[in-house]
């Protein structure tokens, strides 16, 4: 029976599926340096982002049939080389879309009622300045009727659009590779959204959210901020670097951007202090995909693919 090494962890549901399929599964972490000696004993390895599967390691494992990556990126695997050796490389790109979309709305709801600021100030000042804080945070806004601009209308962008429609927002999306997307609203039917130009999105949106990969240069910089509505809200749960952080800080300081919600940063895990300390930024430490449900979906998708390929 096939032997599978789970080197960066897997949700118990995924593990059980593999065991029920009869595979001999090890979840004992093998350090990178020891993989050269140990991995030749396995038919498959599952990793997250920690373990690297490089050409040298692949060359040393002639029996390896599958490399599974729980999550989206494949930067830690020499994918083309592995495939040239007839090794299957699989990942789980859709499993975390819902969780990331929900985090976007967590930031957005938080920003709309200044919850992130109130949560910072109530413990310090809530007992002797309750009325002052009440006044300070009484200028919230509703999401219903506002326009959400979604930059990048792939898996996560469309999930975010779906949530936006659910709370009564209008959705404008921009994506050079997607012309129309059909959003399944469950028992409420389907909604077709045709993508627009970036300029239209920048001009019309009350809230802008990014769902694109980082391709080496920011998609939102000084020029793009200038085209946005005054008082726009910006959410970034895509990748650090997709937004020019200097331009964002300037836009926050001059009021162009009323508030931002950020899950991702340039130079993680050491984001710049002036962004972290900014009073109008709602923060989270790159946790978009980090929910129990997403981890379970990742584990199940990975296990299903391994079972398909190894049986
Ligand atoms: P996806 O490939 O399904 O969609 C990305 C879309 O962006 C594609 O349709 C592509 O055509 C479009 N695109 C690329 N460049 C563009 C541009 N300049 N302008 C407009 N559209 C552009 O990917 P996805 O699964 O939706 O993931 C989107 C991003 O979310 C990725 O960068 C991923 O790394 C990130 N992500 C973040 C977290 C987190 O923890 N915060 C978790 C998972 C994924």
- Residue range 296-309, pLDDT digits in tens: 999 999 999 999 99
Q: Assess whether the C-beta atom of 212 lies below 6 angstroms from ligand 1.
A: yes
> Do 237 and 271 fall within a single domain?
yes
> Do 254 and 118 fall within a single domain?
yes
> Do 237 and 192 fall within a single domain?
yes
* Residue 311 clears pLDDT 90, i.e. is over it: no
Best residue for ligand 1 mutational test, from 96, 97, 154, 179 (most atoms within 8 Å of Cβ): 154
Catalytic hit among 124, 142, 223, 268: 268
Q: What is the CATH number of the domain that holds 150?
A: 3.40.50.720
Catalytic hit among 88, 102, 286, 296: 286
Q: Whole-angstrom Cα distance, residue 61 to residue 56?
A: 9
Catalytic hit among 239, 245, 278, 301: 239
- Report the atom number in ligand 1 closest to the C-alpha of 159: 26
> Do 48 and 101 fall within a single domain?
no
Atom 11 in ligand 1: residue holding the nearest Cα: 177
Residues 220-257: tens digit of each pLDDT:
999 999 999 999 999 999 999 999 999 999 999 999 99
Q: What is the model's pLDDT at position 72? A: 83
- Please report which confidence band the pLDDT of residue 205 belongs to, taking 50, 70 and 90 as the band edges: very high
- Report the atom number in ligand 1 closest to the C-alpha of 93: 25
Residue by residue, DSSP assigns 174-233 as E-TT-SEEEEE-GGG-EEEEE---HHHHHHH-SEEEE-----SS-SB-HHHHHTSPTTEE
Residue 151 Cα to ligand 1 middle (Å)? 9
Q: Assess whether the C-beta atom of 238 lies below 6 angstroms from ligand 1.
A: yes
> Do 136 and 40 fall within a single domain?
no
95, two tokens = 């499993």
Residue 161 Cα to ligand 1 middle (Å)? 13
Domain containing residue 128: 97-283
Q: Assess whether the C-beta atom of 61 lies below 6 angstroms from ligand 1.
A: no
The whole-model pTM stands at: 0.93
> Do 191 and 119 fall within a single domain?
yes
Q: Provide the mean pLDDT of the chain.
A: 97
Best residue for ligand 1 mutational test, from 177, 193, 211, 271 (most atoms within 8 Å of Cβ): 211
Q: Whole-angstrom Cα distance, residue 172 to residue 201?
A: 6
239 carries an active-site annotation:
yes
Atom 1 in ligand 1: residue holding the nearest Cα: 154
268 carries an active-site annotation:
yes
Atom 8 in ligand 1: residue holding the nearest Cα: 154
Q: Assess whether the C-beta atom of 239 lies below 6 angstroms from ligand 1.
A: yes
Q: What is the dihedral of CA 190, 194, 199, 204, to 10 degrees?
A: -40
Residue 123 Cα to ligand 1 middle (Å)? 37
> Do 56 and 135 fall within a single domain?
no
> Do 67 and 198 fall within a single domain?
no
> Do 120 and 199 fall within a single domain?
yes
Residues 264-300: tens digit of each pLDDT:
999 999 999 999 999 999 999 999 999 999 999 999 9
Q: Assess whether the C-beta atom of 54 lies below 6 angstroms from ligand 1.
A: no
Residue 153 Cα to ligand 1 middle (Å)? 8
* Residue 1 clears pLDDT 90, i.e. is over it: no
> Do 104 and 152 fall within a single domain?
yes
Q: Assess whether the C-beta atom of 218 lies below 6 angstroms from ligand 1.
A: no
Q: What is the model's pLDDT at position 159? A: 98
> Do 77 and 165 fall within a single domain?
no
Q: Assess whether the C-beta atom of 237 lies below 6 angstroms from ligand 1.
A: yes
> Do 157 and 184 fall within a single domain?
yes
Number of domains in the chain: 2
Residues 113-163: tens digit of each pLDDT:
999 999 999 999 999 999 999 999 999 999 999 999 999 999 999 999 999
Residue by residue, DSSP assigns 37-99 as HHGGG-SEEEE-SSS-B-HHHHHT-TT--EEEESSS--TTB-HHHHHHTT-EEEE-TTTTHHH
């Amino acid at each position: 029976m096939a032997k599978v090494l789970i080197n960066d962890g897997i949700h118990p549901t995924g593990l059980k599926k593999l065991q029920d399929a009869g595979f001999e599964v090890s979840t004992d972490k093998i350090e990178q340096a020891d993989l050269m000696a140990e991995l030749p004993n396995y038919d498959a390895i599952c990793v997250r982002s920690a373990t690297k599967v490089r050409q040298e390691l692949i060359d040393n494992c002639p029996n390896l049939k599958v490399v599974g990556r729980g999550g989206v990126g494949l930067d830690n695997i020499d994918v083309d080389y592995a495939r040239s050796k007839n090794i299957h490389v699989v990942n789980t790109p859709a499993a975390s879309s819902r969780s990331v979309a929900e985090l976007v709305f967590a930031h957005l709801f938080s920003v709309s009622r200044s919850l992130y600021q109130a949560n910072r100030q109530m413990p310090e000042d809530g007992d002797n300045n309750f009325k002052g804080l009440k006044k300070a945070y009484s200028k919230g806004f509703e999401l219903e009727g506002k326009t959400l601009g979604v930059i990048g209308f792939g898996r996560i962008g469309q999930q975010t659009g779906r949530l936006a429609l659910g709370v009564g927002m209008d959705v404008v999306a921009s994506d050079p590779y997607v012309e129309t997307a059909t959003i399944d609203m469950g028992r409420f039917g389907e909604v077709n959204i045709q993508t627009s130009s970036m300029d239209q999105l920048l001009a019309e949106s009350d809230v802008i959210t990014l769902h694109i990969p980082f391709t080496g240069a920011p998609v939102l910089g000084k020029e793009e901020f200038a085209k946005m509505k005054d008082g726009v809200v910006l959410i970034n749960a895509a990748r650090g670097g997709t937004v020019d952080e200097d331009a964002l800080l300037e836009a926050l300081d001059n009021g162009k951007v009323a508030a931002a919600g950020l899950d991702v940063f340039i130079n993680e895990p050491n984001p710049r202090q002036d962004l972290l300390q900014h009073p109008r930024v709602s923060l989270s430490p790159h946790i978009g995909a980090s929910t129990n449900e997403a981890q379970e979906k990742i584990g199940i998708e990975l296990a299903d693919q391994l079972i398909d390929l190894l049986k």
